[in-house]
Amino acid sequence: MGPLISIIVPVYKVEKYLVRCIKSIQNQTYTNIEIILVDDGSPDRCGIICDEIAREDSRIKVLHKENGGLSDARNKGIAIAQGEYVGFVDSDDYIEPDMYEHLLGVIEKYNVKLAICSLWCEDENGNSAIPELIDPIDDVCLNAEALYPQIEQEFGWFFVVAWNKLYHRSLLNESFYPYGKIHEDEFVITDLLWNAKKIGCSKEKKYHYVYMRNDSITASRKDKISFDKFVIWYRRCTFFHNHNVPSLASESRAVYFKEMEDYYVSGCHGQDMSRWQREELLRMYNDIPDKRITEQLKWALFRINPSLEKKITSIIRKIL
């Protein structure tokens, strides 16, 4: 029969999409699954829909809880999951009929604990939301250190998001996703890949991601997104430093500084963060260890005037 797969679906204000999502999971070619629907205090009919469908399918469990956000919903699902493997599907998305059969095959092929497949990005009408997309995922098995740099590339978020993956249960714990964070996937991806050691990848598109609904969580809270992203870059820098991976630590510092430079030079730094947040992101970069002499010089110039630092750096690059 094969190992049990627990598929966790956080549910909140997705009445329009919910049935399509659940049906796509019910119709999987791999049938040894449990479907955990976590009603995160949804104010519409989502909770009722979950209960109605669960009465028709013994594989479905429904958990009703007070609203706590996406991370809390996923963690509650992890806590009651019985499967040897775990997957996530967002409730406004849907999946191909053989997604989990395919991902389990990738895990068995490469003898890994984590498998990733590619995905379709669609708008609410099923049209491609990212034209001329260059897919970053190929058929390959990578170790964590080889995969990390791809996260920072264009469309690197394909490797970061929670829902195009199949995880061995040992990679997750009951408080895996940080509470109250918008970029919760990015907060955990560094540790996740490190603990997985090797990752099986597939270029087959098995997940349908409904991209940036107007009422989705990620379409709002821009101030939170900005600050959380800087926290993530800081955490990556310190992670690679603490795990003695100097090349990745250096690369992460470069990303952190570039993003901070772009943020301040754009002139928007007084609009989408509080004063405390802006001071904190500067403090975090200042505290990162092992900055090279060139990084220290750029940092000194940046503290005087970010625009001046960027202009001088640009001139030096042209000369070199």
pTM for the complete prediction? 0.91
| Alpha-carbon dihedral 77, 83, 89, 91, rounded to 10 degrees | -50
Position 134 scores a pLDDT of 75
The structure tokens listed for 288 are 């990162």
- pLDDT tens digits along 155-198: 899 999 999 999 999 999 888 999 988 889 999 999 999 999 99
Select from 309, 208, 216, 207 the least CA-distant residue to 258.
Answer: 309
pLDDT at site 273:
85
Query: Helices (H), strands (E): how many in the chain?
Result: 12, 9
CB atoms within 10 A of CB 128: 12
Q: Name the phi and psi angles at 266, rounded to 5.
A: -65, -20
More confident position, 154 or 280: 280
Measured CA to CA, the distance from residue 320 to residue 314 in angstroms comes to 10
Given a cut of 80, whether residue 129 has pLDDT beyond it is: no
Residue 67 pLDDT grade (very low, low, confident, very high; cuts 50, 70, 90): very high
Q: How far is the C-alpha of 186 from the C-alpha of 132, rounded, in Å? A: 25
On average, the pLDDT of the chain sits at: 91
Q: What amino acid occupies position 144?
A: A
Q: What tokens appear for 136 in the block? A: 């970053």
Report residue 227 CA to chain centroid gap.
16
3-state secondary structure of 256: helix
| pLDDT confidence tier of residue 133, bands split at 50, 70 and 90 | low
